[in-house]
């Protein structure tokens, strides 16, 4: 045979070779077996949607909630128009299992907590539907492993490996910069949730995972590892130097209310509002989308060590994870929203 | 001093002591000297000599919160007392006509629509009034039934309907952001109360209190069967409408700023009735004193026993129930 | 002072009685006899203005009942219902003082004068010893007397009493009847219902037999309470026999 024909043969064989079954252990240790790499993935919650969409957007069956117009502009229209399928996670489901079956899912993925309750829920859905249900850890540091495992399950190993390596390098870069910040230069931070800003996350709560990754001093560290209410007196006692929030109502309130004005943060004008398009940057949904939040918060807390081009980071992340580079106007709008950056 | 007068005196004394303790207690350290300095400077209009933080804590945080606790406790107790007399039923709480459920629906809707604190309170207040308006409008038009039974049944039905609205909104709400905010609002808390909230709630509660005080003797007639009261010359329909309006105003204003705090409107009227008997004119002031004291005690504990806030509804049930059982066992009177 | 003309009474959906006419003057005692469900209570509620008449007219002191306010009616007519246990432990004095409602302004509480009138009513009924006791802790008969005192505190010209002797022991029944007779002597008109025809004989000037929704008989008790009328009213055979002093008594037939 001539070399050209041999080459053509070599290329043709893998294309028609029968697909190999895949077996991957998910984060709960359950083995997920597929007869062939998944082509139609149902992402059961927003963190899962982000990962699946990043690896292979054409294999995502739909979103858990339809995009609002301001969110939809950041992905291509054909992806924005994917159907709304609802949630099927442990946190209250809105999905109709029959809809998931009808949509032809061959793999269900959820990314978040991997506690036994949720693992058993995953097992139950798998038994009920006959569709393998893979559960991965949603923490930022576990994202590369989740990406790799998902890549194997979807037959997109190369792509997933690329993403995972990039994510790892980004996390490493963040950690290196954080390591160079002396203790004395780390401000105390209060993350306020709710319209009155009096809910916050204690040490180890997923809401402040990004803060802890950044080595920031969460003033509420003495609180338990979930969302709690605190009183004004407690906040004033803590007297945070920086206030972060994801709630625009609270961000506006903090400037006007004398009780918030008594904190160092408001007095030194260090109250910031996290961007939220198309997925939140800082707290929710608790997925890979929070990588941008690490750069954003890092820049706000440690401007010297985080002398990065935030716009560039946004462009890079959007290109890799959302498959669309934001326009200059979109970037201006995203980063120019009042409260996002220091004036 | 008669036994009754001694009871009132003891209640007032307890309230004053509790208030002093509440002003002195809190996570932020304020010494009694600083406390007095702030209060006297405010009263005399002279300059503050204490650190700015202390002044803010006393005048903007702790002061309004203590006063709000007194106000809300008194309002819920008054509403509960009036309703227990009006419905002739010791198991009635201020929410029997749906004011709390309506307020909850309003607040949950506002949170679902991502509104700010002021609008959440406004929606809650409007929701409470609208719910009772609906219940009263329908219930009082049902013919051929005992008027009270008609009101209670309508209240239960509408309350269930509103409750299902709340459940639907919780279902549709974003689970990471809105749902926790909804959950926290429904648990109730005085943590966010400031001078502005107090300034709005106070006149509304007083507006509800005024008719109750003016009609305090006539309200006793509602304890009689409707025919008897009417035969004695009372316009029971108007009397009931006035009491419902007054109690609703007070309760809606309280729930709008503090969320749902249960048990006070149910337990305090009982305790007061066991101490001074059922005459509304004697009962109302004592119930308000006891309600204010109870709410203040609970809220002070909620904000001091841990760095995080404890939901007041939990403490009112934990403290109130055994205390009530003790009172019931120790009292010699019946209702 | 009470005049009833061709009264048709009942509920919007259902007529209970018709064609009832009578007049009652000061100091007159009229007893209404009738079977259970015969309409006695509905008639009384209509006469008190608690239920709108379906037809006919009721006049109180020469004025149509419908034209009077609740308070005006209450100042003229005292209602004594059947005693119930009550939900709340008001004292007898507090309960009797409630009778002063119609004389007070909407936002007023009883004053000294009101309390004196209430105390006088309590004394008139001979229950002064019970004045501070809760009504939930006294006997049925004492409670009934308290309700009569309450009605008296209204300073009425007419008393309407719905089965005031029901569920009272024999002694208390007689006490209440004595009370009715004494009140009538002071010039108050009394209209009361009872199941026992002997009560009519004991203290009523006239008796109204209410059966089948109509006034079957109206007149002096000795004239209208007869074996045949009682048979028509209650469906039982009784004997009405004269006893000493021209008085009459009802004898149920003795079966051995």
Q: Are B and C close enough to touch, i.e. 3+ CB pairs under 8 angstroms?
A: yes
Query: What local confidence, expressed as pLDDT, does residue C131 receive?
Result: 94
Cβ(A299)–Cβ(A335) under 8 Å?
no
Q: Across the B/C interface, how many CB contacts are shorter than 8 Å?
A: 88
* Of the residues A116, A144, A175, the one at which a domain ends: A175
Q: Are A170 and A228 members of one domain? A: no
Copy the structure tokens of residue B54. 């202390």
DSSP bridge pairs for A190: A243
- Tens-digit pLDDT profile for residues A79-96: 999 999 988 876 567 777
Quote the tokens at residue A327.
């326009």
pLDDT per residue as tens digits for the range A287-307: 999 999 999 999 999 999 999
Query: What share of chain A in percent tops pLDDT 90?
Result: 80
Q: Are residues A50 and A168 in the same domain?
A: yes
Check if B285 contacts C (Cβ < 8 Å): no
Tokens read off for A163: 């993403």
Percent pLDDT > 70 in chain B is 98
Q: Is C65 exposed, middle or buried (0-12, 13-18, 19+ CB in 10 A)?
A: buried
pLDDT of residue A5: 65
Tens of pLDDT, residue by residue over C120-146, are 999 988 899 999 999 999 988 889 889
| C243: confidence class by pLDDT, cuts 50, 70, 90 | confident
Asked whether residue A3 carries a pLDDT value surpassing 70, the answer given is no
User: Residues with Cβ < 8 Å from B171, sequence gap 6 or more?
Assistant: A92, A94
Do residues B60 and A258 make contact, with C-beta atoms less than 8 angstroms apart? yes
The torsion defined by the Cα of B283, B128, B184 and A229, in degrees rounded to 10, comes to -60
Q: ∠ CA(B140), CA(C9), CA(C73), 5° rounding?
A: 70
> Could you tell me if residue A13 is inside a domain?
no
> A110 by DSSP, 3-state: which?
strand
Number of domains in chain A: 2
Q: Which residues pair with A244 in a beta bridge?
A: A191, A272
Looking at the fold, whether A136 and A23 belong to one and the same domain comes out as yes
pTM: 0.91
CATH number at residue A302: 3.40.50.1980
Helix (H) or strand (E) holding B279: none
Non-local (6+) Cβ contacts of B254 within 8 A are B71, B72, B75, B76, B201, B205, B261
Residues of C in contact with B216 (CB under 8 A): 109
Q: Strand, helix or coil at B206?
A: helix
The whole-angstrom separation of Cα A225 and Cα A203 is: 5
Closest CA to C59 of C138, C2, C130: C2
Q: What is the CA radius of gyration of chain B?
A: 20
Interatomic CA distance for residues B24 and B22, integer angstroms: 5
The ipTM (two decimal places) reads 0.91
Indicate whether A193 and A322 sit together in one domain: yes
Whole-number pLDDT of residue A263: 95
Nearest CA to C146 out of C92, C191, C98 is that of C92
What are the beta bridge partners of residue B290?
none
Which residue's entry shows tokens 């049944």?
B153
Residue A193: its chain B contacts at CB < 8 A? 180-181
- Asked if residue A242 belongs to a domain, the reply is yes
Domains in chain B with CATH codes: 3-330 (1.10.3470.10)
**Summary mean pLDDT of chain A:** 91
Q: Which chains have 3+ CB pairs within 8 A of B?
A: A, C
Per-residue pLDDT, A31: 92
Which residues of C are less than 8 Å from B283 in CB distance? none
Regarding whether A35 and A86 lie in a shared domain, the answer is: yes
Within 8 A by CB and 6+ apart from A328, the residues are none
Joined together, the tokens standing for residue C48 give: 């008190």
One domain, residues A171 and A24: yes
Q: What confidence score (pLDDT) does residue A210 get?
A: 95
pLDDT of B246: 97
pLDDT (0 to 100) of residue A46: 94
pLDDT reading at C103 higher than 60 = yes
pLDDT digits (tens, 9 = 90+) for C27-71: 999 999 988 877 888 999 999 999 999 989 999 988 999 999 999
Q: Which two tokens stand for residue C94?
A: 């507090």
pLDDT of C214 reads: 85
Say if residue A207 is in the same domain as residue A288: yes
CA C20 to each of CA A30, B159, B306, C3, C7: distance values in angstroms, whole numbers, following the listed order? 89, 46, 76, 10, 5
Coil vs helix vs strand at B180: helix
Domain limits at A286? 182-336
Instruction: Please list, in sequence order, all residues whose beta carbon lies within 8 angstroms of the beta carbon of residue C44, skipping any fewer than 6 positions away.
Output: C32, C79, C160, C162, C191, C193
pLDDT in tens, B75-106: 999 999 999 999 998 889 999 999 999 999 99
Closest residue to B220, CB basis, from C45, C84, C98: C98
| Rounded alpha-carbon distances, angstroms, from residue A171 to A49, A176, A177, A314, A317 | 21, 9, 10, 15, 13
A65 Cα to chain B: minimum distance (Å): 9
Mean pLDDT of A11-26: 71
pLDDT at B185: 95
- Cα–Cα distance, B187 to A229 (Å, whole number): 11
Domain membership of residue A8 (yes or no) is: no
For residue C108, pLDDT beyond 60? yes
Binary contact (B192, A283; C-beta < 8 A): no
> Are C137 and C92 spatial neighbours (Cβ–Cβ below 8 Å)?
no
Instruction: Say if residue A252 is in the same domain as residue A116.
Output: no
Contact A202 B60 (CB under 8 A): no
Q: What are A159-186's pLDDT values in tens digits?
A: 999 999 999 999 999 999 999 999 999 9
- Does the beta carbon of C84 lie under 8 angstroms from any beta carbon of chain B? yes
Pick from C78, C90, C107: which is nearest to B214 by CB? C107
> What are the backbone angles phi and psi of residue B114, rounded to the nearest 5°?
55, 45
Please give the DSSP secondary-structure letter assigned to residue A89: S
- Domain final position from A123, A157, A175: A175
Question: Minimal CA–CA distance to A88: which of A52, A58, A133?
Answer: A133
What is the C-alpha to C-alpha distance for residues A272 and A277, in angstroms, rounded to an integer? 16
Separation CA A20–CA B277 (nearest Å):
83
Mean pLDDT of B232-249: 95
Residues of chain C with C-beta less than 8 angstroms from the C-beta of B335: 87-89, 136
Please say whether the beta carbons of A243 and A270 come within 8 A: yes
Percent of chain A clearing pLDDT 70 (strictly above) = 94
State the sign of the Cα–Cα–Cα–Cα dihedral B280, B282, B287, B289: positive
R_g of chain C computed on alpha carbons: 18
Q: Is B331 an interface residue toward C (CB < 8 Å)?
A: no
* Residue A233's pLDDT band (cuts 50, 70, 90): very high
Do strands A271-273 and A242-245 pair parallel, antiparallel, or not at all (unpaired)? Answer: parallel
> What pLDDT band is residue B109 in, cutting at 50, 70 and 90?
very high
* pLDDT the model gives residue A301: 96
Q: Do B335 and C48 touch (CB under 8 A)?
A: no
Dihedral pair phi/psi, residue A165, rounded to 5°: -65, -40
Q: What is the Cα–Cα distance from C106 to A186, expressed in whole angstroms?
A: 69
Residue A299 covered by a domain:
yes
DSSP 8-state secondary structure symbol assigned to residue A142: G
* Continuous H helices in A46-202: 46-55, 69-72, 77-80, 97-102, 116-129, 143-154, 157-179
Closest CA to B298 of B51, B107, B21: B21
Q: Are residues A161 and A236 in the same domain?
A: no
The half-sphere exposure of C105 on its side-chain side, counting CA atoms within 13 A, is: 4
pLDDT of the residue at C195: 85
Interface test with B, best of A194, A238, A284, A293 (most B CBs within 10 A): A194
Domains and CATH numbers, chain C: 1-61+161-256 (3.40.50.300), 86-156 (no CATH)
Residue C107 forms contact with B (CB below 8 Å): yes
Asked whether residue A108 is domain-assigned, the answer is: yes
3-state secondary structure of C183: helix
Taking only the tens place, the pLDDT of each residue in B184-214 is 999 999 999 999 999 999 999 999 999 999 9
Same domain, residue pair A233 and A167: no
Q: Is residue A324 part of a domain?
A: yes
- Measured distance CA(B298)–CA(B291) in Å, rounded: 11
What is the rounded CA–CA span in Å between residue B191 and residue A343? 31
- Other CB atoms within a 10 A radius of the CB of residue B330 amount to 8
Concatenate the DSSP letters of all residues of B81-119 into one string.
Answer: HHHHHHTT-TT--GGGGSHHHHHHHHHHHHHHTT--HHH
Mean predicted lDDT score pLDDT of chain C: 89
DSSP string, B212-260: HHHTTTGGGGGGS-HHHHHHTT--HHHHHHHHHHHHHHHHHHHHHHH--
Residues A127, A208 within the same domain: no
CB atoms within 10 A of CB A111: 31
Q: Give which of B321, B264, B324, B276 is closest to B70, Cα–Cα.
A: B264
Going by pLDDT thresholds of 50, 70 and 90, the confidence category of residue A243 is very high
Q: Which of A302-311, B34-43, C185-194 has the lowest mean pLDDT?
A: B34-43
Whether residue A195 and residue B56 make contact (CB cut-off 8 A), yes or no, is: no
Residue B40's CB: how many other CB atoms inside 10 A? 10
For residue B230, give the nearest of C70, C88, C108 by CB distance.
C70
3-state secondary structure of C158: strand
Instruction: Return the closest-CA partner of residue C155 out of C77, C253, C245.
Output: C77
What was the pLDDT predicted at C6? 86
Q: A205 and A292, same structural domain?
A: yes
What is the pLDDT, as a whole number, of residue C252?
A: 78
Largest Cα span, chain A: 85
Of the residues A125, A143, A175, which one is the last residue of a structural domain? A175
Residue A2 lies in a domain: no
DSSP E strands: which ranges in chain A?
22-25, 31-34, 41-43, 107-112, 133-137, 188-192, 199-201, 217-218, 227-229, 242-245, 271-273
pLDDT higher than 60, residue A8: no
Q: B196 to chain A, minimum CA–CA distance in Å?
A: 10
C203 vs chain B: nearest CA distance in angstroms?
Answer: 25
């Amino acid at each position: 045979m001539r070399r050209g024909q041999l080459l053509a043969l070599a290329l043709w064989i893998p294309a028609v070779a029968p697909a190999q079954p895949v077996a991957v252990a998910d984060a709960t240790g359950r083995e997920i077996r597929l007869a062939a790499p998944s082509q139609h993935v149902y992402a059961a919650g927003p963190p899962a949607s982000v990962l699946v969409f990043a690896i292979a957007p054409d294999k995502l069956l739909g979103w858990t909630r339809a995009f609002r117009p301001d969110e939809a502009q950041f992905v291509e229209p054909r992806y924005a128009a994917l159907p709304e399928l609802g949630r099927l996670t442990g946190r209250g489901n809105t999905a109709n299992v029959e809809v998931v079956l009808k949509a032809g899912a061959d793999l269900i993925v959820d990314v978040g907590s991997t506690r036994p309750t949720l693992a058993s829920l995953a097992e139950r859905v798998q038994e009920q539907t006959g569709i393998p249900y893979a559960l991965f850890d949603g923490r930022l540091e576990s994202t590369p492993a989740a990406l790799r495992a998902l890549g194997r399950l979807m037959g997109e190993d190369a792509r997933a490996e690329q993403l995972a390596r990039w994510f790892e390098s980004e996390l490493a870069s963040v950690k290196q910069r954080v390591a160079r910040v002396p203790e004395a230069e780390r401000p105390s931070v209060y993350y306020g949730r709710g319209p009155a800003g009096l809910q916050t996350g204690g040490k180890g709560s997923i809401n402040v995972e990004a803060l802890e990754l950044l080595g920031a001093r969460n003033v509420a560290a003495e609180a338990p590892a979930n969302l709690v209410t605190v009183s004004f007196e407690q906040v004033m006692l803590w007297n945070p130097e920086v206030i972060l929030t994801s709630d625009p109502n609270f961000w506006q309130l903090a400037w006007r209310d004398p009780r918030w004005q008594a904190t160092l943060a408001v007095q030194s004008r260090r109250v910031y509002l996290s961007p939220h398009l198309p997925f939140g940057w800082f707290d929710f949904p608790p997925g890979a989308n929070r990588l941008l939040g690490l750069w954003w918060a890092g820049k706000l807390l440690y401007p010297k060590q985080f002398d990065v081009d935030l716009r560039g980071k946004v462009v890079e992340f959007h290109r890799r994870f959302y498959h669309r580079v934001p326009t200059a106007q979109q970037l201006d709008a995203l980063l120019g929203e009042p409260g996002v950056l220091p004036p | 001093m008669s036994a009754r007068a001694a009871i009132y005196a003891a209640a007032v004394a307890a309230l004053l002591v509790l208030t002093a303790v509440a002003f002195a207690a809190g996570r932020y350290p304020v010494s009694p000297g600083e406390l007095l300095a702030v209060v006297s400077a405010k009263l005399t209009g002279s300059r503050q000599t204490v650190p700015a933080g202390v002044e803010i804590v006393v005048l903007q945080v702790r002061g309004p919160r203590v006063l709000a606790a007194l106000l809300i406790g008194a309002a819920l107790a008054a509403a509960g007392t009036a309703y227990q007399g009006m419905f002739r039923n010791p198991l009635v709480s201020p929410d029997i006509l749906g004011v709390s459920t309506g307020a909850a629906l309003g607040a949950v809707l506002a949170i679902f629509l991502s509104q700010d604190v002021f609008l959440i309170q406004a929606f809650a207040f409007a929701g409470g009034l609208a719910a009772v308006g609906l219940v009263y409008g329908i219930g009082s038009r049902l013919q051929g039934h005992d008027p009270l039974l008609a009101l209670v049944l309508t209240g239960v039905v509408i309350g269930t309907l509103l409750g299902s609205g709340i459940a639907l909104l919780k279902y549709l709400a974003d689970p990471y952001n809105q749902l926790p905010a909804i959950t926290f609002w429904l648990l109730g808390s005085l943590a966010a109360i400031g001078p502005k909230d107090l300034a709005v709630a106070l006149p509304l509660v007083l507006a509800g209190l005024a008719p109750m005080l003016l009609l305090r003797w006539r309200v006793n007639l509602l304890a009689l069967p409707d025919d008897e009261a009417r035969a004695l010359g009372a316009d029971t329909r108007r009397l009931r409408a006035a009491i419902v309006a007054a109690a609703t105003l007070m309760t809606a204003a309280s729930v709008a700023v503090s969320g749902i705090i249960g048990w006070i409107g149910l337990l305090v009227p009982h305790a007061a009735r066991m101490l001074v008997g059922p005459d509304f004119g004697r009962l109302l002031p004592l119930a308000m004193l006891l309600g204010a004291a109870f709410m203040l005690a609970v809220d002070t504990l909620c904000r001091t026993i841990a760095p995080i806030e404890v939901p007041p509804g939990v403490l009112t049930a934990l403290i109130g129930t055994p205390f009530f059982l003790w009172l019931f066992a120790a009292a010699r009177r019946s209702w | 002072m009470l005049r009833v003309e061709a009264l048709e009474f009942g509920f919007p959906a259902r007529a209970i009685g018709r064609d009832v006419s009578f007049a009652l003057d000061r100091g007159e005692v009229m007893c209404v006899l009738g079977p259970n469900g015969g309409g006695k209570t509905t008639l009384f509620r209509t006469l008190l203005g608690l239920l709108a008449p379906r037809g006919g007219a009721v006049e109180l002191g020469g004025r149509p009942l419908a034209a009077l306010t609740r308070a005006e009616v209450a100042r003229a007519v005292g209602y004594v219902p059947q005693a119930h246990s009550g939900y709340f432990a008001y004292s007898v004095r507090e309960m009797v003082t409630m009778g002063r409602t119609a004389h007070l302004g909407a936002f007023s509480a009883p004053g000294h004068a009101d309390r004196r009138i209430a105390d006088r009513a309590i004394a008139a009924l001979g229950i002064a010893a019970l004045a501070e006791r809760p009504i939930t802790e006294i006997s049925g008969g004492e409670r009934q007397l308290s309700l009569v005192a309450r009605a008296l505190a209204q300073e009425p010209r007419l008393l309407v009493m719905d089965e005031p002797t029901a569920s009272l022991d024999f002694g208390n029944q007689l006490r209440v009847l004595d009370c009715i007779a004494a009140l009538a002597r002071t010039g108050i008109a009394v209209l009361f219902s009872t199941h026992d025809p002997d009560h009519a004989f004991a203290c009523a000037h006239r008796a109204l037999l209410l059966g089948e929704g109509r006034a079957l008989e109206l007149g002096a008790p000795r004239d209208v309470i007869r074996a045949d009328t009682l048979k028509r009213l209650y469906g039982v055979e009784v004997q009405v026999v004269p006893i000493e002093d021209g008085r009459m008594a009802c004898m149920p037939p003795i079966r051995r």
